[in-house]
């Protein structure tokens, strides 16, 4: 299962991505929003992440105007590796070397054809493992590094 979410800036763009998923025969669920009214993108990023962490979805696709905000919000969660991709190569490497489980896209910076190619490559590329597994394990935050408020 692939879950998708966006903010208001990416509603039409998300519809294009849904068509790509349907063409590929990939099961998916749209977590919203469905209206173009202004929303707070972190709310949708956190909801999508919870679906993945709970095991109800394997991968996610987040979209906003640039993809930056969504990637920042998603990456705040332990176990999430959200990758902002701008082409097929970055999508392939995000999966192959970094085991990315969330793809982030910018609706205002990508054309439909490039976005479709990114999604197709991201979903078709497996994690290579091996030497990359050790590196992926080092991505998770070290909880002792946090400064506690006095």
Enumerate the active-site residues.
64, 97
Asked if 16 contacts 115 with a C-beta cutoff of 8 angstroms, the reply is yes
- Residues listed for the chain: 150
Q: 142 CB contacts (<8 Å, ≥6 apart)?
A: none
**Judging by beta carbons within 10 Å of its beta carbon (0-12, 13-18, 19+), is residue 137 exposed, middle or buried?**
exposed
Non-local (6+) Cβ contacts of 149 within 8 A are: none
Q: Is 37 exposed, middle or buried (0-12, 13-18, 19+ CB in 10 A)?
A: exposed
């Amino acid at each position: 299962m692939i879950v998708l979410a966006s903010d208001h800036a990416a509603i039409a763009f998300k519809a294009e991505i849904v068509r790509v998923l349907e063409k590929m025969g990939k099961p998916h669920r749209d977590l919203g929003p469905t209206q173009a009214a202004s929303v707070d993108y972190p709310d949708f990023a956190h909801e999508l992440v919870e679906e993945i962490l709970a095991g109800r979805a394997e991968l996610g696709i987040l979209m906003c105007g640039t993809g930056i905000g969504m990637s920042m919000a998603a990456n705040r969660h332990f176990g999430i590796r959200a990758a902002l991709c701008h082409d097929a190569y970055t999508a392939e490497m995000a999966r192959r070397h970094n085991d990315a489980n969330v793809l982030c896209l910018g609706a205002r910076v990508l054309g439909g054809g490039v976005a479709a190619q990114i999604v197709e490559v991201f979903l078709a590329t497996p994690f290579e493992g091996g030497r990359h597994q050790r590196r992926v394990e080092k991505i998770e935050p070290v909880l002792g590094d946090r400064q506690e408020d006095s």
